[in-house]
């Protein structure tokens, strides 16, 4: 069996750095961590984290895997993380945040086989998610913030996208809007796919025309989306967006082109962190989704699994709340 010293030699780091990379005690460079994990995989090294927990019994640590993009963890994700952390702490558990670029199975495997963790919370769930498949095979307790295409009996907490989009669409309809666009990404994750399908269905019920504009969640992409919107759909009067940073860029583009919000164009944003609402001018009308509560519920569902407590509510859809601020008004008359 490989030793920590052998892993350190192969990775070109000290033995203590191997420990830091695996247990998260200190911050180390992402490049170094990946080098250590590669060496761990090559040598099939299995650190006995459980031995260190013998005095206190079973590990009481949860791992939250949060895929991070080029600019790190999204701000809205921090609200979910804070909720999960608070609930875990209240029940005597620690929460380790593990950012990853993609669904890195090698990292999950290291966690699962080490004895360091009791269970896993997954975010950014794809319809077909190999992380879920692995954890089920490895018999590691897990809960999802989001859900796969067919979750079966798997534990999850998700947004009620049908209810949330209907809140936004019904409100816009009451203001006389009949032609709308919606901003979304092309990511193969449940949140974007379900948002798009729910919005299209809600618009259809109100006999609205709804057109998709693709973005990535960056301000520059939001500005580009406004330019596209302005050229393609000059008679449209409202926009719904799920992408918080792109929404701010979209508003910036509208200001640049002299389009007045909400006089000329109404905007409703979903799943937007509070400080982004405050950064927007006018303040964003939103359908708030309870991110903190979702994170907390995911922790509690997972801990109930770990402690083998019966929980008949291991699947939950949480509703949104319409908060009317300054980016919505009656639809302008089309010229």
Kindly report the average pLDDT of the chain as a whole number.
86
- pLDDT tens, residue by residue, 54-67: 444 467 889 998 76
Residue 330, in any domain of the structure: no
Residue 213, in any domain of the structure: yes
- Please state, in angstroms and as integers, the Cα–Cα distance from residue 303 to each residue in 25, 61, 65, 108, 160, following that order: 23, 10, 16, 18, 23
Q: Using the predicted structure, report yes or no on whether residue 335 has a pLDDT greater than 70.
A: no
- On whether both 74 and 187 belong to a single domain, the answer is no
- On whether both 168 and 85 belong to a single domain, the answer is no
Which of the listed residues 272, 288, 304 is the one where a domain comes to its end?
288
Most confident of 58-67, 119-128, 174-183, 263-272: 174-183
Residue 325, in any domain of the structure: no
CATH number of the domain to which 9 belongs? 1.10.260.40
- On whether both 282 and 226 belong to a single domain, the answer is yes
* Angular region, 257: left φ>0, alpha ψ -120 to 50, beta rest: alpha
Mean pLDDT of 41-64: 66
Which residues, in sequence order, are bridge partners of residue 122?
Answer: 65, 144
- On whether both 53 and 117 belong to a single domain, the answer is yes
Among 64-78, 165-179, 184-198, 224-238, the least confident range: 64-78
Residue 22, in any domain of the structure: yes
What pTM was estimated for this model as a whole?
0.77
Angstrom distance (rounded) from CA 141 to CA 139: 6
- pLDDT tens, residue by residue, 214-234: 998 889 999 999 999 999 999
Boundaries of domain holding 39: 1-47
Among 12-16, 93-97, 267-271, the least confident range: 12-16
- On whether both 52 and 169 belong to a single domain, the answer is no
pLDDT of residue 228: 96
Among 67-76, 113-122, 257-266, 303-312, the least confident range: 67-76
pLDDT of residue 74: 64
- pLDDT tens, residue by residue, 280-293: 889 999 998 888 99
- pLDDT tens, residue by residue, 118-139: 899 999 898 889 889 999 998 8
Max alpha carbon distance in the chain (Å)? 76
Q: Using the predicted structure, report yes or no on whether residue 148 has a pLDDT greater than 90.
A: yes
pLDDT of residue 60: 86
Residue 324, in any domain of the structure: no
Q: Using the predicted structure, report yes or no on whether residue 330 has a pLDDT greater than 60.
A: yes
Nearest by Cα to 148 from 161, 133, 135: 133
pLDDT of residue 105: 76
Residue 62 DSSP class: E
What percent of the chain has pLDDT above 70? 87
pLDDT of residue 20: 73
Angstrom distance (rounded) from CA 18 to CA 5: 9
pLDDT of residue 58: 62
Residue 96 DSSP class: E
Which of the listed residues 288, 304, 326 is the one where a domain comes to its end?
288
Nearest by Cα to 102 from 189, 192, 9, 217: 189
- On whether both 257 and 177 belong to a single domain, the answer is yes
Residue 329, in any domain of the structure: no
Question: Please, are residues 190 and 125 in contact by the beta-carbon 8 Å criterion?
Answer: yes
- On whether both 77 and 15 belong to a single domain, the answer is no
- Please state the φ and ψ torsions of residue 9, each to the nearest 5 degrees: -65, -45
Q: Using the predicted structure, report yes or no on whether residue 141 has a pLDDT greater than 80.
A: yes
CATH number of the domain to which 179 belongs? 3.40.50.2300
- On whether both 170 and 280 belong to a single domain, the answer is yes
- On whether both 203 and 88 belong to a single domain, the answer is no
Mean pLDDT of 23-42: 77
- On whether both 283 and 182 belong to a single domain, the answer is yes
Residue 105, in any domain of the structure: yes
- On whether both 104 and 147 belong to a single domain, the answer is yes
Mean pLDDT of 127-154: 92
> Residue 157 in 3-state DSSP?
strand
pLDDT of residue 222: 94
Those residues whose C-beta lies under 8 Å from the C-beta of residue 243, and which sit 6 or more positions away, are 183, 184, 185, 215, 216, 217, 222
Angstrom distance (rounded) from CA 77 to CA 7: 33
- On whether both 141 and 77 belong to a single domain, the answer is yes
- pLDDT tens, residue by residue, 71-119: 556 667 888 999 999 999 999 999 988 876 554 677 777 777 767 788 9
Residue 251, in any domain of the structure: yes
Q: Count up the domains in the chain and report the number.
A: 3
pLDDT of residue 87: 95
């Amino acid at each position: 069996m490989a030793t920590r010293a052998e892993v350190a030699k192969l990775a070109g780091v000290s033995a203590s750095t191997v420990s830091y990379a695996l247990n998260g005690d200190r911050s180390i460079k992402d490049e170094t961590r990946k080098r250590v994990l590669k060496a761990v995989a090559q040598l099939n090294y299995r650190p006995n984290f459980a031995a260190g927990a013998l005095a206190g019994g079973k590990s009481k640590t949860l791992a939250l895997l949060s895929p991070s993009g080029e600019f790190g963890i999204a701000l809205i994700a921090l609200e979910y993380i804070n909720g999960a952390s608070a609930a875990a702490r209240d029940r005597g558990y620690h929460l380790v945040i593990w950012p990853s670029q993609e669904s890195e199975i090698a990292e999950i495997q290291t966690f699962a086989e080490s004895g360091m963790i009791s269970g896993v919370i997954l975010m950014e769930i794809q319809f077909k998610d190999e992380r879920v498949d692995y954890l089920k095979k490895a018999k590691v307790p897990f809960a999802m913030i989001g859900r796969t295409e067919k979750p079966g009996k798997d534990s999850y907490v998700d947004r009620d996208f049908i209810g949330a989009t209907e809140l936004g669409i019904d409100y816009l309809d009451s203001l006389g809007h009949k032609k709308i666009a919606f901003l979304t990404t092309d990511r193969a994750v449940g949140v974007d796919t379900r948002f798009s399908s729910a919005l299209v269905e809600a618009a259809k019920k109100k006999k609205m025309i709804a057109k998709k504009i693709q973005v990535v969640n960056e301000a520059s992409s939001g500005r580009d989306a406004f330019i596209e919107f302005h050229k393609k759909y000059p008679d449209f009067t409202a926009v719904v967006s799920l992408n918080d940073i792109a929404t701010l860029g979209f508003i910036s583009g509208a200001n640049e082109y002299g389009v007045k919000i909400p006089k000329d164009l109404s905007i409703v944003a979903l799943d937007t962190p509070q400080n982004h609402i405050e950064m927007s001018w006018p303040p964003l009308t939103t359908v708030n989704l309870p991110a903190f509560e979702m994170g907390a519920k995911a922790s509690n569902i997972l801990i109930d699994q770990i402690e083998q407590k019966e929980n008949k509510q291991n699947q939950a859809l949480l509703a949104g709340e319409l908060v009317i601020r300054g980016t919505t008004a009656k639809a302008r008359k089309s010229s």
